[in-house]
Structure 1
Amino acid sequence: MTRDILPLDMIDLTIVVMLAEGASLSQVGNHVGLSPSALSHRLTRISDRLGYPVTQMVGRQLRISDRMTRSMPHLKAALHHWAKAQSVISRDVGTMRSIGIARIFSGWAEQFLPDDSGVDQWKIVTGTSEDIVRWVRQAQVEAGIIRTDHGLAGMNLHILGHDPLLAVASPALVSHLPETMELWPWIGFNQHLGHGQSVNRALVESGWMPIYKFQVDALESARVLAIQGKGIAVLPQSMVSNQIREHRLVEVPVTSVIWPKRAVAALYLTGVAEPVWLPHFTDRVSRYLNHGQTTGNG
């Protein structure tokens, strides 16, 4: 017959985890606000609920029982998630913010959201630039990060800066590249999105028809393949600046081509109040794109 086990609450979990980590009974009692007798009664109740002792005497000291010790990783994980859930539900619902980020920027744009001060929560959605424009117009998100060369009638745009595209590869791969660029292992990007269109247009205008080409649908995938030495990827400078500094990637000299620059923007509907965090956000991204890094903590 299966025994029904009554659930433990957050105080129960805190007590057993603290004892397992070596805290004394007085330390545990002070932390959870229980007197010694109340704490002893609580431990007895936990044992009754579980059906086995949660503590045992080792010499003259009270320790967590061996059986409870085996469950400790799960209990610690449960306590962590419970505390996180309580933190979320205790916040003011009105502080939820939502932002849409086009896939071509999702690999790096999220890091520029205002720091979580314990007040704002962020719901981030990704899609194509066209998706983001539609969601903003329908007020499904407060703002969106997209390319600015789509001719967005009736939209206010905050231009953040220009982010040049670089051809990059692992240093080991560059030393083995053949003379003919058509034989280079290019990592292609979805041609239906802005980044892929820019890169493919540059290749066509230069008269190149690569023989070897990997097709990926995310910039992060292209960066990983480039680092692994699988091919050459054309990526935003802001996305690979750290890898270049660390010598994990190097720029590939591509003659006769000036890689197109992309402008990005935070956009919001005309006539709708500008989110209070938007100027701060645009300033951080603009400084990053212009100088390769943000300054300060804000």
Structure 2
Amino acid sequence: MFPVNIENIEAFVYVIHCGSFNKAAEALYLSQPSVTARIQSLERELDCRLFDRQGKQIQITEEGKRFLPYAQQLLLTYQKGKLHVHRKKSLPQEFRIGCTVSVSNYTIPELLPGLKSRFPDTRFKIVTGVTDDIVNKVLNKEVDIGFVRNVNHPNLHSVKLYEDPITLYAYEGHPFVGAELLTVEEIAEQPLVFFECGALDWLRIHRVFENLDKPPNIQIQTDNSEMAKKLVIRKAGISFLPELCAKQEISEGKLIPLRVPETDGISLQTNLISNLGEHVQFLNAIIEIGKQLNRQ
């Protein structure tokens, strides 16, 4: 029976995440032969092949797929234990949160009062950016946690916080208001204010119009949901928007949601990320507050 070598486990997880031995070596600051040696050692420990190698191409085996969730859990447990041994007992005086602009506009103001009540002696600093920037800031410890689109990284703990449905909205008095069923062709002919957030899920909105004879009538395109929302209210067009950003205007009757069967189920997922094992108290508090807000 071989003892468990956490470095071999780490190399295996990194190869899966990075897609190659070379890239895993770069991420771990190792040589490629060192990563290969660690994988071979792990294969001897498990008495099975974890990868099929065909030249420079690698493919995970069925045994590797079965072992992967256990490897990820072992690595996470080790990182948590390591940080627990060395953690400071006192809470930080300043807690830095990175988030996308939409989260800063619609989620953080709802969460912060609850966080302040739980951690009254902690100051909170909010930094906004796109998902990739926030991921890098968390990894580099420039911020403590991040609110981002759905991501997966071997050095990060990532948990789904909520999903925000994407819906087509019109202004009061628009001819579509009250229609039971709208076709994609009808929508494409209307002046559209197209909000583009760059998330992969948003590509599904584009695909709705792919098979039409002519492109949709996009009059204005913007990456700012507040601008898109205000343009709809001012009757510049109709727009697909995340539900959270339109919540208040829906209640006031300024924006009217429209049913489009082709876009049912499309939503933007927001994840909460942190370095493995860090800031557990804050993470648990945010998740708990989020659940309370969703029940309201």
Counterpart position of 1:168: 169
Q: Give the 3 Å change call, closer, same or farther, for CA 151–245 of structure 1 in structure 2.
A: same
Equivalent residue pairs, number: 197
Residue 131 (structure 1) aligned with residue 133 (structure 2): yes
Larger mean Cα displacement after TM superposition, 130-139 or 219-228: 219-228
Aligned mates of 2:248, 2:214 — CA distance in 1:
29
CA gap 1:190/1:97 in 2 versus in 1, 3 angstroms: same
How far apart are the structure 1 equivalents of 2:282 and 2:130?
23
- Give the drift of 1:196: 4.4
List runs of 5+ in structure 2 lacking aligned partners.
1-90
Structure ID, larger Rg: 1
- Structure 2 residue 213 is the aligned partner of structure 1 residue 211: no
Select 1:96's aligned residue among 94, 97, 108: 94
Aligned to 2:18: none
Matches of 2:213 and 2:291, distance apart in 1:
34
Please identify which structure carries the higher helix content.
2
Code of the residue aligned with 2:105 in structure 1: it is G
Q: Percent identity?
A: 22
Q: 1:256 aligns with which of 262, 271, 274?
A: 262
Give distance in 1, aligned partners of 2:253 and 2:192.
20
TM-superposed CA distance for 1:194, in Å, is 4.5
Partner of 1:120: 122
**SS across alignment from 2:262:** coil
Q: Distance in 2 between matches of 1:212 and 1:280?
A: 42
1:106 matched to 2:104: yes
2:152·2:158 contact (CA, 8 Å) conserved in 1? no
Assess if the C-alpha contact under 8 Å between 1:167 and 1:233 holds in 2. yes
How far does the alpha carbon of each residue in 1:21-67 deviate from its partner, in whole angstroms, 9 at most, with x for none?
xxxxxxxxxxxxxxxxxxxxxxxxxxxxxxxxxxxxxxxxxxxxxxx
How far off is 1:232 after superposition? 1.5
Listed as ranges, the matches of 1:144-159 within 5 Å are 144-148=146-150, 150-159=151-160
Distance in 1 between residues matched to 2:207 and 2:195, nearest whole Å: 12
Shift of 1:129: 0.5
Q: TM-score, normalised by structure 2?
A: 0.58
- CA displacement at 1:130 relative to structure 2: 0.5
Gaps of 5+ in 1: 1-92, 294-298
Aligned to 1:243: 249
Contact 1:107 1:219 in 2 (8 A): no
Alignment RMSD (CA, Å): 2.9
Match of 2:279 in 1: 274
Partner in structure 2 of residue 56 of structure 1: none
Q: 1:105 Cα deviation (Å)?
A: 2.8
One-letter amino acid of the counterpart of residue 133, structure 1: V
Q: Which amino acid aligns with 2:109?
A: Q
1:48 maps to which residue?
none
Contact 1:136-1:142 within 8 A present in 2 as well: yes
**Pair 94,257 (structure 1): closer, same or farther in 2 beyond 3 Å:** closer
CA pair 188-264 structure 1, distance change in 2 beyond 3 A: same
- Residues of 1 paired with 2:175 and 2:285: CA distance? 40
**Alpha-carbon contact 1:188-1:196 (below 8 Å) kept:** no
| Deviation (angstroms), 1:275 | 4.6
